[in-house]
Chain A
Amino acid sequence: MAQSKPIAQGIVITERKQTERALSREKNFSDAVMNSLPGLLFVFDDKGNTMQWNRNVEKVTGYSATEISKMNILHFVANEDQKIAVEAMQEVLTKGQASLEINVLSKPGKKIPFYITGLHTKIENASCVVCTGIDITERKQAEDALRRSEERYRTIIENIQDGYHELDLVGNFTFVNDVTCMHLGYTKEELIGMNYRSVQDETTAKKAYQIHQEVYRTGEQIKALESEYIRKDGTKEIYESSVSLIRDAHGKPIGFRGISRNVTERKKAEEQLKRYAAELERSNEEVKNFAYIVSHDLRVPLVNLKGYTAELRSALEVIGSNFDAALPHLIEEKQSAVATALHEDVPEALEFITSSVSRMDSFINAILILSRLGRQDLKPEPIDMNALVQTTVETMSHQLQERGIEVNVGSLPHVVADRIAMEQIMGNILGNAVKYLDSSRPGRIEVTAQANGAETTFRIRDNGRGIAAEDMHKVFTPFRRAGKQDTPGEGMGLAYVQTLLRRHGGRISCESELGKGTTFTFTISTRSEKGACDA
C-alpha cells in the first residue's frame, strides 16, 4: 500500500517522531488487514470517489493504483448493473448499509460477479463508504449448473411420453407431469394432493400399497409393475410402472417417484395374439380331427357298399346257376334280354361299383395317412444324411442299373430330425425323380446340401421331363398329379413330404423347366430345438 493516499494530516510536531512511528505501525497493521482480506475492499466518499483500496482491487480489475486513485467507484461496475449500483449507493447513504450482486468490470473488459456489501461511515468527519466484495464466480457457476440440470430434468419430465409422478409417504400426489394428467384425465391442480387410491380399485390399491411398502423397506426400485388405473371418466387403462424412493438430503425417505407407461394397447395386442394363437391351434386341431373323422366315417358306408355288392354278386351266382333250368320257361324274345342283363349288365354294374369303392377307399386311406403324419409323434435324433441317402439309393439300385440312371450324392451334413420322416421325405423325392425321368436321355440325379447356420438346405436336381409352369401349383396338392399320367400313383407323395417338413419347421419348394428337369429344395433345422417338431 505504498501508494495509498494519506488518511491523516496535521500532526503534532513535538511528538512527531514517536507519532510517526506509531502511525507507521498503525498503517502497517491496517494495510496488512486490508490486504489479507480475501475479497475486494474499497473506501470511497459519498460521491463515489475512491479513497482507499486493497491490493486485490488492483489484481482483480487490472488498474494501477494511479488509475484507481482517479476513478469513481461506478467505473468498476458493468453497464447493466449501473442502475442497481447507484440505487445501492443511495441506500447505503440513507439507511447505513446495503448489499447487492453485481458484475465488476475489469480494465480489459472482463465481467466478474461479486457480492458487495457497503457500510456508511465517517472518517475524519467526512462521509464515506467502506465496501467489501466477494468473488461469487464459482457460486454463480454452481447455480447455473444447477439451474441447467434442473431445466434438463424438467424438460425430460415434461417431454417424455411416459407419465411421471411423485407421491408423499401417505400416497398423495405431490408432483405430476402433463402425461400423467393425460393418462388419468385430471388436471394438475386436481391431482396434486389427491391420493393414488382414488385412481385405483381396492384390489389394485392394496397391491400398490404393498409394493410401496416394499420400496420403502428395501430402498430398491421396483420395475415393470403392471396395474390398472381408473381415469376420471371411469374408463380403465393398464400401466406399466416403476416405483423408487425419494430421500431428503439426510437420506430420510420423504416420498416415492414413479414412471408409468400406458400398455393398454400392447396388452390388447398381446391378448389378441394369444387369442389368435389359440384359435389357430384349435382350427389346426379341428382340421386334423376333421381329416380323421371324415376318413373314418366315410369308410362306414364304403364297408356297406362293398359288402352288399358282394352279397349281390353271390345272390347273382345263385340265380345264375339256376338260370339255365329256368330259361326254357321264358318266352323266346325275353330270353336273350334276360341273359344279357344277368350275364353282362349286372356284373358290369357291380364291377364299376366295386372298382369305384376301391378307389374311394384308397383316397380315404391317403387322407388318413396324411392326417396321421400331421399327428404322429416325431422323435428328433441326429441323422447322418449321407448314410440315409445312401440307403435310399440302394433300395432303388435295381431300377437305377436297369435304366442306366446315375445318382450323384454330394457331402451331406448331419441333421436333427425324425428318422422315419426323413426316410419318407428322401424316399418320396428321389422316387419321384426316378419315376419322372425322360426316357430319351440318360437319367442324372444329384443330391447336394448346404448348411446355413441353424438351417440346412437340401437340393435334389434331376434332368427328367420337368413340370409345366401351369402345373406347378398341383405339385404339393393332395391327389393332384402333373403331366403325363403314365406311371402309377395317388398323387400324395409330395403332400406327405410337405406335411412332414412342416412338422419339422422346414419348408420345400420346387423349380422346374419342362423338358429340362426339376429341382426340389427343402430346408430343415440343423439344431434340435424344442418345438421345432411341433410346428
Chain B
Amino acid sequence: MPDIQDVTILLAEDDPGHTRLIEKNLRRANIKNEIAFATNGQEALDYLFCEGAYAHNKHASHLLVMLDLNMPVLDGYQVLERMKNDERTKRIPVVVLTTTDDAREVARCYELGCNVYVTKPVDYEQFSDAIRKLGLFLSVVTIPDGVGG
C-alpha cells in the first residue's frame, strides 16, 4: 500500500471559483498532496492517459480523481465511463463533486463506478465540512498499487 502522501489528486472542475474553493479547503483540511487541475473532461482523460497536452508526461504513480459532473467537451459521466472501462484506470478512486443531489444522478454515478458522491453545498460551513470529511476519507482510503501502464 502506497503512502497516502504519494497520491496525486486530479481535480477536474470547469468553474475556476469552485476549483480554488476546493483547493483552499483541501489545504485547510491538511491535505498536502500534489493537486493536478483539469478544466474539462477531455483534459482530465488526457492527463490520465498521458495523451494530448500531457503526451510527454510520466504517468503519476498513484492517483485519486475528484470529478465535477457538468463540464464542457466531455462531461463527468463520460470521463467516469472511460475510466471504468479501461484496464489502466479502472482502479483509480473517483470522488464525484457536483451541485445537485438528484437521486437519479447519484444512482447513475454509483452505477458507473464512482466511489464517493459529494454534493457541493451552497452553505459554506457545509462545504468545508464536506471537504474536511473528504480529507478524512482520503487519509483512510486504500489507494491501489501501480496505476497506469
Contacts and interface: CB of A to CB of B under 8 A. Distances in A.
A295 B125 CA distance: 21
Contacts of B15: 300, 303-304
Given A307-B127, A308-B17, A300 B122 contact: no
A309 interface: yes
Given A299-B99, A299-B100, A299-B122, A304 B17 contact: yes
B88 interface: no
Contacts of A301: 17
B70 A303 contact: no
Contacts of B128: 310
Nearest to B105: A296
A303 B122 contact: yes
A180 to B, nearest CB: 58
A258 B17 CA distance: 75
B18 interface: yes
B124 A304 contact: no
B120 interface: yes
Task: Assign chain A's interface to a size class.
Answer: 20 to 34
A303 B99 contact: yes
Nearest to B123: A306
A302 B102 contact: no
B19 to A, nearest CB: 10
B21 A303 contact: yes
A297 interface: yes
Given A296-B99, A368-B100, A372-B102, A357 B18 contact: no
B24 interface: yes
A361 interface: yes
Contact of B17 (A297, A307, A310): A307
- Name the residue among A292, A300, A309, A310 with the largest chain B CB count within 10 angstroms: A300
A378 to B, nearest CB: 14
B21 A307 contact: yes
A296 B122 contact: no
A296 B100 CA distance: 6
Given A297-B70, A311-B24, A306 B100 contact: no
Interface in B3-21: 15, 17-18, 21
A358 B70 contact: no
B124 A302 contact: no
Given A296-B100, A304-B15, A309 B124 contact: yes
A357 B122 contact: yes
Contacts of A310: 124-125, 128
A296 B17 CA distance: 16
Contact of B122 (A292, A297, A306, A311): A306
B124 A306 contact: yes
A304 B24 contact: no
Contact of A300 (B18, B102, B125): B18
B21 A304 contact: yes
Contacts of B127: 303, 306-307
B36 to A, nearest CB: 21
A304 B24 CA distance: 13
- Name the residue among B24, B121, B123, B125 with the largest chain A CB count within 10 angstroms: B123
A302 B70 CA distance: 15
Interface string B106-133: 0000000000000011111101100000
B118 to A, nearest CB: 12
Contacts of B99: 296, 299-300, 303
A306 B121 CA distance: 9
Given A299-B99, A358-B122, A304 B70 contact: no
A303 B21 CA distance: 9
B100 to A, nearest CB: 5
Interface string A297-331: 10111111011111100000000000000000000
A307 B121 CA distance: 9
Contacts of A308: 17, 21
Contacts of B102: 292, 368, 372
Nearest to A372: B102
A368 B125 CA distance: 22
A304 B18 contact: yes
B17 A303 contact: yes
A296 B70 contact: yes
Nearest to B16: A304
A154 B108 CA distance: 70
Contacts of A307: 17-18, 21, 124, 127
B79 to A, nearest CB: 18
Contacts of B21: 303-304, 307-308, 311
Nearest to B15: A300
Nearest to A299: B99
A372 B100 CA distance: 12
A313 to B, nearest CB: 8
Nearest to A375: B104
Nearest to A297: B70
Interface in B60-118: 70, 99-100, 102
Contacts of B70: 296-297, 300
Contacts of B100: 295-296, 299, 368
A517 B107 CA distance: 45
Interface of A: 292, 295-297, 299-304, 306-311, 357-358, 361, 368, 372
27 contacts: A292-B102, A296-B70, A296-B99, A297-B70, A299-B100, A299-B120, A299-B122, A300-B18, A300-B70, A301-B17, A303-B99, A303-B121, A303-B122, A303-B127, A304-B21, A306-B122, A306-B127, A307-B17, A307-B124, A308-B17, A308-B21, A309-B124, A310-B124, A310-B128, A311-B21, A361-B122, A368-B100
- Shortest 7 CB-CB contacts between residues of A and residues of B: A310-B124, A304-B17, A299-B99, A307-B21, A361-B122, A306-B122, A302-B122
Given A296-B99, A302-B122, A303-B127, 4 more contacts: A303-B21, A303-B121, A310-B124, A358-B123
